[in-house]
A and B are shown apart, each in its own frame.
Chain A
Amino acid sequence: MTPILTVERLGKGFVLHGQGGLALSVMRDLSLELHPGECLVLAGPSGIGKSTLLKILYGNYLAGEGHIRLHFSDGPLSLTELPAHAWHALRRDVIGYVSQFLRVVPRVSAREVVMEPLLARGADAAEARVRAETLLARLNLPERLWSLPPGTFSGGEQQRVNIARGFIGEHPLLLLDEPTASLDAANRAVVVELIHEAKARGTAMLGIFHDEDVRERVADRLLPLESFMAPSLAPSAQPISRGLPHA
Chain B
Amino acid sequence: MKRPDPSAPVLARPELDRPVLLDVQDVTRLYGPGKGCEAIDFRLHAGEVLGIVGESGSGKSTLLRVLAGLEAPDAGRVVYHRPGDASETDLYAIGEARRRALLRLEWGLVHQNPRDGLRMGVSAGANVGERLMALGQRHYGQLRAAGQDWMTQVELDPARIDDAPRTFSGGMQQRLQIARTLVTRPRLVFMDEPTGGLDVSVQARLLDMLRTLVRQLGLSVVLVTHDLAVARLLAHRLLVMRRGRVVEAGLTDQILDDPQHAYTQLLVSSVLTP
Contact = CB atoms under 8 A, between A and B. Distances in A.
A61 B265 CA distance: 13
A144 interface: no
Among B13, B15, B262, max chain A CB count under 10 A is at B13
Interface string A92-104: 1110000000011
B254 A84 contact: yes
Given A18-B266, A84-B250, A200-B4, A90 B233 contact: no
A59 B6 contact: no
A1 interface: yes
Contacts of B208: 105, 107-108
Interface string B243-274: 00000011101100110111001100100000
Contacts of A105: 204, 207-208, 211, 233
A89 B266 contact: no
A166 B43 CA distance: 30
A14 B237 contact: no
Contacts of B119: none
A18 B265 contact: yes
Interface residues of A, number: 50
A184 to B, nearest CB: 28
A60 B258 contact: yes
B48 A88 contact: yes
Given A18-B266, A85-B236, A71 B3 contact: no
Nearest to B17: A86
B215 interface: yes
Contact of A62 (B11, B18, B260): B260
Contact of A70 (B11, B237, B249, B251): B11
A87 interface: yes
Contact of B204 (A72, A92, A93, A107): A107
B8 interface: yes
A62 B253 CA distance: 10
A119 interface: yes
11 contacts: A18-B265, A18-B269, A35-B3, A36-B8, A85-B237, A86-B17, A87-B251, A88-B236, A90-B14, A105-B208, A201-B4
Interface of B: 1, 3-4, 6, 8-18, 43, 45, 47-48, 204-205, 207-208, 211, 215, 232-233, 236-237, 249-251, 253-254, 257-258, 260-262, 265-266, 269
Interface of A: 1-2, 4, 14-18, 35-38, 55, 58-62, 70-75, 77, 82, 84-90, 92-94, 103-108, 119-120, 172, 200-202, 220, 242
Minimum-distance CB pairs A-B, first 4? A17-B262, A72-B13, A93-B14, A106-B204
Given A72-B11, A77-B16, A103-B232, 8 more contacts: A36-B4, A61-B258, A62-B260, A73-B11, A85-B45, A94-B14, A105-B208, A172-B11
